[in-house]
Every structure is written in structure tokens, then in C-alpha cells.
Amino acid sequence: MTDLILQSEPLEAIKFAPWGEVIEVSGAPDKIINQGMCGRHHDLAKLDFADGRAGISLFNAKARHLPLTLDMVERHPDGSQAFIPVTQTPFLVVVANDNQGTPHGIRAFVARAGQGVNLHRGVWHGVLTPLEANGIYAVIDRIGNGANLEEHWFTSKITIR
């Protein structure tokens, strides 16, 4: 593989659909509750666990900056993984398709404040990458036994800008 320069693009639900959901307030709520004081945007992410159970964790991640070098992507064969910024920190969401165990067709999306993502089970993705500032993220993923992790390290230089 030759060196690659990848242009990041704004995160949009329709573009991101092959790899997961964008968790954001969009359109009218599915239900109005609490005597009209609250709109419920219902069940926005496909949580999918081979075993174990859903849990809530917090990830406290250091800032990175564009352009950056993408060294690796990883995937979790046993469960989906959702990232919801609680500090409204934009972050880079790198995803890729799979070709017989190797990532290809890498895309890089920038989630703006107010957007989270859910990555479908087994999707190749970059590590959590807050942009410009440190960020804290609620992570809803599989709690269970086993490593539930595959990594792919790139041998050529991939730059995301």
C-alpha cells in the first residue's frame, strides 16, 4: 500500500449508515413526555452483543490535532460500541470496510458538538480521537469476558487532514 492522504468530512447520518448510527437530536421527537416538557428521540443505536451485557463507561481522552497519522484501526468482534461526548468535544471517527480480515476503504468523519456515534459490532475503526481539546465520552459497549479486540497496524503512512 502506498502512502495515502485522506480528507476528513463532516459526520452525517446517511453517509455513516454502513458502519453505524449517528446519535444526535434530529427532526421531531418520537414521543413527548413529562407533561410536554421533554421530547424523547427513541432508541437511536443498534446495540448488538454476542454475549455479555451492555454497560456504561467513561473514556477520558487526550486531544489530537489534524493533520494526524493513522497508525492503526481496531475492531470488536463481540459487540457494538457507542461514543457520546459529554464535554461537547468534536472528535474524529475513522471507519473502514473489511476485506477478508483486512481494513480497506477508510473514511474519516468529524463529529461536531452534539453528535455521538454507535459503531456496529465488528466494524474497523480508529481509536477515540478528540480534536483540539481533551474530551470525556460516555461509552456504551459490551461488558464481558475475552479480549474482544483485533488490531490492524498499517505499514504505509496514512495522513488524515
* Residue 13 sits in the site that holds a copy of itself (CB under 8 A): no
Among 43, 101, 153, 156, binds a copy of itself (CB under 8 A): 43
Among 110, 138, 152, 159, binds a copy of itself (CB under 8 A): 138
Residue 140 or residue 160: which is nearer to a copy of itself going by CB?
140
Residue 110 or residue 143: which is nearer to a copy of itself going by CB?
143
Q: Which long-range contacts (CB under 8 A, 24 or more apart) does 53-58 make?
A: 53/142, 53/143, 53/144, 54/140, 54/141, 54/142, 54/143, 55/140, 55/141, 55/142, 55/143, 56/138, 56/139, 56/140, 57/138, 57/139, 57/141, 58/86, 58/136, 58/137, 58/138, 58/139
* Residue 86 sits in the site that holds a copy of itself (CB under 8 A): yes
* Residue 81 sits in the site that holds a copy of itself (CB under 8 A): no
How many other C-beta atoms are found inside a 10 Å radius of the C-beta of residue 70? 20
Which residues contact a copy of itself (rule: CB under 8 A)?
A: 23-25, 29, 33-35, 37-45, 47, 53-62, 64, 82, 84-88, 114, 116, 118, 127-128, 136, 138-140, 143
